[in-house]
Amino acid sequence: MSKVIYILNGPNLNLLGKREPEIYGYQTLDDVRAQCEELAGELGLKTVFRQSNAEHDLVDWVQEAREAADGIIINPAAYSHTSVAILDALSACTLPVIEVHVSNIHQRESFRHHSYVSARADAIIVGCGVEGYQLAVRHMATRLSD
């Protein structure tokens, strides 16, 4: 039976490829989804790929993943810097968690330098563009095979 990873995406990532392409690039979230699904399939994993602009959806999906998944990859986007609720949901979960950011949040505005989610993440991938998602899928496959 294939292991399942949830790939969760926060606010404004639905605009990937359209919003500030000089920072986030030109690939869309649908492109990212297709790349993740293809790579996960090659690695024997299944994905549940979701995006919401609503914090409560992300909290609900993390709670759902506790029962339905083997790992979580999350790009909380702007909620990284504000959401104790997402941190609490992840902290109540024993699954491996990988945090992904398309841009290097440490080279951006100072308010972006701190991520609440990082306190719970087992690995953090920043500044690799959308390729960071594929790196996360590969790393999750390695973690789940150990």
What is the pLDDT of the chain when averaged over all its residues? 92
Q: Which of 24, 79, 116, 133 is catalytic?
A: 24
HSE-CB of 42 using CA atoms within 13 angstroms: 8
Which one is catalytic: 6, 79, 101, 133? 101
Task: Report the half-sphere exposure of 70 (CA within 13 A, side-chain side).
Answer: 18
24 in catalytic set: yes
- 115 CB neighbour count, 10 Å cutoff: 22
Q: What are phi and psi of 107, to 5 degrees?
A: -105, 5
Q: What pLDDT score does 20 carry?
A: 75
What's the pLDDT tens digit per position in 34-93? 999 999 999 999 999 999 999 999 999 999 999 999 999 999 999 998 899 999 999 999
- pTM value > 0.95: no
Looking at the predicted structure, is the pLDDT value of residue 105 above 90? Answer: no
The rounded distance, in Å, linking the Cα atoms of 98 and 49 is 14
Q: Is 133 a catalytic residue?
A: no
Domains of the chain and any CATH numbers = 3-145 (3.40.50.9100)
CB 106, CB 11: distance < 8 Å? no
